[in-house]
Amino acid sequence: MPTLLQKIKTLAFSSVSKKLLFFVYFLLLLATLYHVYYAKRIVPGVTVGDVSLGGKNLAQAQSALEAREKTLDKKVTLKYDGKEYAVKAEDIDLTYDWEGTTLRAFEIGRSGNVLQDTKDKIAGLVKNLNIPAFHDHSDEKLISVLSEAKSLFNVIAQNAGVKMEKGKLVVTTESEGKKVLDDALHTTVIQAFDKLSFGDKELPGKKIVPKITTAEVTALLPQAEKIINNEITVKDGSRTWKLTSEQLLGYMTFQRDKEKNHVEIDLLEPRLESFVEELEQEVNQLPRGLVTGMEGNKVTGFELSKEGSELDRGKFISAFRDAYFNSKGNVDIPKVSVSGPLDKDKYGILELLGEGKSTFKGSASGRIHNLTLAAERASGVLVSPGATYSLNNSVGDIDSKTGYDIAYIIKDGRTVLGSGGGVCQTSTTLFRAVLNSGLPIVMRYPHAYRVSYYEQDQPVGFDAAIYQPSWDFRFKNDTENYVLVQAEADEANYALKFQIFGTPDGRKVAITEPAVTNQSPPPPALYQDDPTLAKGVTKQVDFPAWGAKVTYSRTVTRGDEELFVDNFESRYQPWRAVYLVGTKE
Q: Return the pLDDT at 21.
A: 63
Q: Return the pLDDT at 20.
A: 66
Q: Which of 511, 503, 473, 305 is nearest to 375 (CA)?
A: 473
Long-range contacts of 393-399 (CB under 8 A, 24+ apart): 393/281, 393/282, 393/284, 393/285, 393/472, 394/286, 394/485, 395/423, 395/426, 397/468, 398/374, 398/423, 398/468
Q: Which of 438, 508, 427 is nearest to 474 (CA)?
A: 427
CATH number of 220-345: 3.10.20.800
Sign of the Cα pseudo-torsion (68, 69, 71, 76, in order): positive
- Per-block mean pLDDT, blocks of 10 residues, the chain (585 long): 58 60 59 64 89 89 92 94 93 93 87 78 80 91 92 93 91 93 89 92 92 93 94 90 93 88 92 90 81 92 82 94 94 83 76 94 84 91 91 82 65 50 88 97 91 88 86 94 94 94 95 94 89 87 87 95 95 88 87
**Element (DSSP H or E) covering residue 7:** helix 4-37
Q: Return the pLDDT at 86.
A: 94
Q: Return the pLDDT at 438.
A: 97
Q: Return the pLDDT at 479.
A: 95
Q: Which of 228, 515, 541, 569 is nearest to 407 (CA)?
A: 541
Q: Cα–Cα distance between 436 and 507 in angstroms, integer?
A: 11
> Phi and psi at residue 513, in whole multiples of 5°?
-70, 140
Q: Return the pLDDT at 73.
A: 93
Note whether 406 and 366 are within 8 A (CB): yes
Which residues sit opposite 388 in a β-bridge? 476
DSSP annotation of 493: G
Q: Return the pLDDT at 496.
A: 95
Q: Return the pLDDT at 402.
A: 73
**Residue 98's CB: how many other CB atoms inside 10 A?**
20
DSSP annotation of 53: -
Q: Which of 75, 201, 81, 76 is nearest to 153 (CA)?
A: 81
Note whether 214 and 185 are within 8 A (CB): no
Tell me the C-alpha to C-alpha distance, in Å, between residue 558 and each of 384, 502, 503, 504, 552.
21, 16, 14, 11, 20
Q: Return the pLDDT at 379.
A: 92
Which residues sit opposite 335 in a β-bridge? 311
> Phi and psi at residue 430, in whole multiples of 5°?
-65, -40
Q: Cα–Cα distance between 363 and 367 in angstroms, integer?
A: 6
Q: Cα–Cα distance between 295 and 299 in angstroms, integer?
A: 7
Let me know the angle formed at the C-alpha of 566 by 565 and 568, rounded to the nearest 5 degrees: 150
**Residue 429's CB: how many other CB atoms inside 10 A?**
30
Query: Which burial class, exposed, middle or buried, applies to 549 when counting CB atoms under 10 A from its CB (0-12, 13-18, 19+)?
Result: middle
Tell if the pTM clears 0.95, that is, is over it: no
**Element (DSSP H or E) covering residue 162:** strand 161-165
